[in-house]
Structure 1
């Protein structure tokens, strides 16, 4: 690994509020918070050989070796029957592009800003980032790891432990309001999910992870009323529903043997499908204060989907199953409820008028391989140079401040703030 050098330039670009970064959870998160009876089954880290690891057709398949077997020593998260290694794709910043491969790593081999608050703030300073909203790593992007577990009591404790760590430690006093909390919910029970939304909203949390396509996780779709308790809690507390690419545990691909580059090119596809789902579900009619965001989905695809959705709603709603529940054109619903997030999308920015200045958020994706760190300011300056300064201000930070309830200077107000 090597450290990127950054040359200071005059601060003409707004300080970035990234709505999609990631935390790699340190080993103690669940060890310190779960009851003693679960220390042998709850999430914990062990170091063991990696026998094999593939990522083909959108499916990730690692194999853990026994102590003493051949293979590089890797740090693994163990939870019930799950064995999940830390990988270079979890934390790629600081490595050259040719060094970023599908391989297992240890905590010592990753950039400390991945899991350490002081180091994260330092790396944010290097990247012209003021504040950041961080998605999980081990729980996966909406807590699927706990949803798939056998022991529901342990799963619920695992979700709550993560949220407590997120609020009290990752976003605690040491973060100086610069790290913005993002909560998990127990996806297997909408009533429990609503309770967890309210528990965290009471301490100032304004965003919660959710799956882009719940049926891929074996859960009901948003076309049912199953999620109403959860959605009502979000609507009433001003909690944003944040959906990251891959939060359906099924990355888009075309075939079982397609190389990862295929899926990486079309990562936006699940967001596209998901947004169409929400626009045609009637959800926003029933929950008028609800707002959702798509992390790492980019924005260039949005104008056509809105155009097509409006045509279908206008021409085909009689037989399309939406006449009685979608009362306004989908593009109007989008404008009032949905946010697209991007880190590198020159095409989308050239077509900003067809998306809406108020519906776009900026991100850096630290510490993933797609991250623009440490040059997120330079990327933004290059791609937003044609936009008026007040428009750039809204995209880079103003919209995030409004959406996430931050202070005027872009910080999380802290527990209890609403």
Structure 2
């Protein structure tokens, strides 16, 4: 694989490459940018409450995260985004194992068989001026789900209604690499967004399975050609697969897609963390065996993203945003326990499962509880190893910072903790990731910092490290 030519800020050059390793480092690869529909400029005249006459101003519509049917008249995109951030001082070489890409407007153009192309996901403009995805009779009202990187703090809870309301790094790979360089992030694993669902489950639930299957493959083909291959050292390729029973009732189609992707270099696949919760077979049914076997055979890491199977069921009247975000750790614990007790880790010692989002604070508690279940309750499973040992062997965990829990790293396992930036979501530390980690982890040894910040992820996902890493 050829080394991509890319532009590094001076504060980051020492991490990514020495002069001998970066010929033409003053250049930047130029790739055609997909066109996006331009925002219409509206001139709206509203009564002034103080002067008694109309003021004229440009406006845009922003969707509220709390309800896709709620919208407000808000500022133009120049007023939504903060000024361009400066390059961050780099203390650590980072690999983020939980980021997201926003599917660009032209993602599916020409990628489905000709007979099915007119049924591919399409970006349309609705009556409110929102850009929305249309697929399989559904409208996805949030064109860039929680894509709020670079927003002013008071606007981070509002969903972008159009592509120009987002940083271009959300969906343009050249701009994404720039945003990674800003924080000293060497490599990134990206999950899908709204029109696919975090685990690609929207396509697998399509009313016409032939269309859904072709769309799922098109998503993977786009990721391969347009997102990964342009910067193969900077992107960790994580695909999606078919999650529904095929014509024979088995998971063979999903297993075949994992093998197809592995043959061209994909190292991970994302699956729903609780598949039964979104209409797919249970982990305890045996239906997933072919997919698990394909992952083991190809050394494909299963990356489980919290929320891909829905969120915590909300009591009536509860603040959905606040409560939902608070309970990410609880969702991770539940999903991890289900995957552990599915027995797949015991049956397949080489199976690798990464828990994305949700932090690491719940992991020591789960380990303690597993020991209690076996030693006090007597609910052992007659496995070769104790459940807690399998958790430490087969599972990996990631964190934004977890300052209260990081000192329990030995309990979790020093080789099984990784970093997430969560760009471009509201939880993300971008563009302050370096200082956030320094404040939370600055007391740790350089050896541990290298493990947590990049080495563990590089080992798990078989991804190359730069010639020099920090600290």
Interval of TM-score (by shorter of Structure 1 and Structure 2): 0.7 to 0.9
Q: Does 1:312 align with 2:373?
A: yes
Q: CA deviation at 1:89?
A: 4.7
Q: 1:406 aligns with which of 463, 467, 471?
A: 463
Q: Report the structure number with the largest CA radius of gyration.
A: 2
Which digits, 9 at most, give the CA deviation of each residue in 1:275-326, with x for residues without a partner?
A: 1112222211211110101111200111011110121023334xx4x534x3
Work out which of the residue numbers 122, 136, 140 in structure 2 matches 1:84.
140
Provide the rounded CA distance (Å) in 2 between the counterparts of 1:8 and 1:344.
17
SS of the residue corresponding to residue 399 of structure 1 reads helix
User: What residue number does 1:337 align with?
Assistant: 394
Distance 2:114 2:262 in 1: 28
Deviation at 1:223, TM superposition (A): 1.8
> Using the alignment, how far apart are the partners of 1:7 and 1:148 within structure 2?
42
Partner in structure 1 of residue 276 of structure 2: 215
**Aligned equivalents of 1:8 and 1:211: distance in 2?**
35
> Residues 133 and 140 of structure 2 are in contact (CA less than 8 Å); yes or no, is this contact kept in structure 1?
yes
Report the aligned-residue RMSD. Answer: 1.7
**Secondary structure, counterpart of 1:28 in structure 2:** coil
Q: How many residues of Structure 1 are paired with residues of Structure 2 in the alignment? A: 381
Q: Shift of the alpha carbon at 1:177?
A: 2.0
Q: Give the TM-score taking structure 1 as reference length.
A: 0.87
Tell me the residue number matched to 1:255: 315
Matched, 1:95 2:151: yes
> How far apart, CA to CA, are the structure 1 residues paired with 2:375 and 2:449?
34
CA distance in 1, matches of 2:217, 2:163: 24
Normalising to structure 2: TM-score of the pair? 0.78
Residue of structure 1 equivalent to 2:101: 23
Higher RCO (CA < 8 A, seq sep 6+): 1
CA–CA distance in structure 1, aligned partners of residues 455 and 271 of structure 2? 24
DSSP 3-state at the match of 1:358: coil
Task: Give SS of 2:97's match.
Answer: strand
Structure 2's unaligned 5+ residue stretches are: 1-80, 246-250
Q: Quote the offset at 1:19 in angstroms.
A: 0.4
Q: Does 1:143 align with 2:143?
A: no
Summarize the alignment of residues 223-372 of structure 1 with structure 2, pairs less than 5 Å apart.
223-248=284-309, 250-259=310-319, 260-317=321-378, 320=379, 322-324=380-382, 326-372=383-429
Partner of 1:53: none
Contact 1:183 1:200 in 2 (8 A): yes
Q: CA deviation at 1:8?
A: 4.7
Match of 2:28 in 1: none
Q: 1:131 aligns with which of 179, 187, 212?
A: 187
Conserved in 1, the CA contact under 8 Å of 2:329 and 2:361?
no
User: For 1:410 and 1:245, how far apart are their aligned partners in 2?
Assistant: 33
Q: 1:47 aligns with which of 125, 138, 148?
A: 125
* Alpha-carbon distance change, 226 to 126 in structure 1, aligned in 2, over 3 angstroms: same
Counterpart contact for 1:184–1:209, Cα < 8 Å: yes
Q: 2:278 & 2:218 partners in 1: Cα distance?
A: 22
Q: Deviations over 1:342-382 (max 9, x none)?
A: 11311221221221111111010011111100011111111
Aligned in 2, Cα 1:140/1:410: closer, same or farther, shift over 3 Å?
farther
Alpha-carbon distance in structure 2 between the residues aligned to 1:389 and 1:75: 46
Q: 2:215 matched to 1:158?
A: yes
